[in-house]
Every structure is written in structure tokens, then in C-alpha cells.
């Protein structure tokens, strides 16, 4: 293949052509994230000692800054806990029932919404199910089957309630 063909292949590759694994392959990702070994071997360049020291200093500075911020966050949390503990003890007769009430209300509203959404889904399914029948005799048969299933579910629920009351 001529050099012109090689450049055409490279252009085709960079436009996203060729095999899919080449476009987002290991070498592409390593180059994207700046893997030094890949860059040095791919471009035929070597990293200078000054660049290595600058990268090490930048990394150490970033790590030290994050460590200091982490320590400040822990210190602030401990101080806030020290200040808030007496308030929590004083107001606990009010806060505990309030927390329980909020939890129960949240549970009630979430379950109500869930049951409402389930009811709407069941009604939509029933509507679609009954609309898909083509002839009126099939529709009557399906309505009878659905009515029978509803009675079966009702009987089962009543049986379970009787069992629960017996225990």
C-alpha cells in the first residue's frame, strides 16, 4: 500500500470508520487519559526529569490539599456534634415522636402513591386486554373469565383474612 493509502486509512480511522474496537479501544483511552507509557511509545518522545518532578509536586500538592480539607470536615463534624448533643438531649421528648410521625406520614404517602399507580396500571391493562378482542362473543367470554378471576381473588383474600383473624 502506498503512503497516500496509509494516510487515507488514518483519516478513515479518526472519522470513526474501521472496526469499532479501534475507535474506542485501549490505546485510544490510554492516550485520552494521558498514560505516560503510551504517549512516550506512541509519539516517540520521552518525559524529561523536570516534567516528572512537576507532575509529582502537583500530585503531592493536590493530595495534601484534599487531606487538609478532609481533616477540616471531620473537625467541623465533631464540633457540631459536641454543640448539638445537649440540644438533642433536651429536645428528644419532642424530636423522637416528631421523627416517628414524619416517618409514618412519609410511608403512608409513598405507599398510597404506589398503590394508586398500581391501580391505574391494572385498569389500563384491563382496558387494553378487553379492547384487543375482535368479536363480541370473545369479548363476553373474556369479561366472564375476568369476572371469575376477580371473584377468585376476592374469595382468596377473604380466606386469608379469616386465617389471620383466627390466629
Q: Is residue 145 part of a domain?
A: no
What does the mean pLDDT of the chain come to? Answer: 77
- The per-type count for the chain, helices as H runs and strands as E runs, is 6, 0
Domain with 55 in it:
50-92
Residue with cell string 376476592: 154
My answer on whether 86 and 59 are in the same domain is yes
Cell numbers describing residue 89:
438531649
My answer on whether 103 and 86 are in the same domain is no
Share of the chain above pLDDT 70, in %: 68
Count of domains observed in the chain:
2
My answer on whether 54 and 82 are in the same domain is yes
Average pLDDT over residues 83-104: 90
Entry pTM? 0.35
Cell numbers describing residue 20:
469499532
Residue with cell string 480511522: 13
Q: Is residue 30 part of a domain?
A: no
CB neighbour list of residue 16: distance below 8 Å, 6 or more residues apart: 23
My answer on whether 55 and 88 are in the same domain is yes
Amino acid at each position: 500500500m502506498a503512503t497516500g493509502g496509509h494516510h487515507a486509512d488514518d483519516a478513515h480511522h479518526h472519522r470513526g470508520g474501521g472496526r469499532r474496537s479501534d475507535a474506542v479501544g485501549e490505546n485510544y483511552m490510554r492516550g485520552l487519559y494521558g498514560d505516560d507509557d503510551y504517549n512516550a511509545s506512541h509519539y516517540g518522545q520521552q518525559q524529561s526529569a523536570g516534567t516528572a518532578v512537576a507532575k509529582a509536586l502537583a500530585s503531592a500538592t493536590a493530595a495534601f490539599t484534599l487531606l487538609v480539607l478532609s481533616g477540616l470536615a471531620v473537625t467541623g463534624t465533631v464540633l457540631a456534634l459536641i454543640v448539638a448533643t445537649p440540644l438533642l438531649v433536651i429536645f428528644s421528648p419532642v424530636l423522637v415522636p416528631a421523627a416517628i410521625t414524619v416517618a409514618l406520614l412519609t410511608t403512608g404517602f409513598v405507599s398510597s402513591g404506589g398503590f394508586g399507580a398500581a391501580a391505574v396500571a391494572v385498569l389500563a391493562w384491563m382496558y387494553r386486554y378487553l379492547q384487543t378482542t375482535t368479536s363480541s362473543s370473545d369479548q363476553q367470554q373474556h369479561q366472564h373469565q375476568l369476572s371469575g378471576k376477580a371473584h377468585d381473588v376476592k374469595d382468596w383474600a377473604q380466606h386469608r383474612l379469616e386465617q389471620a383473624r383466627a390466629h
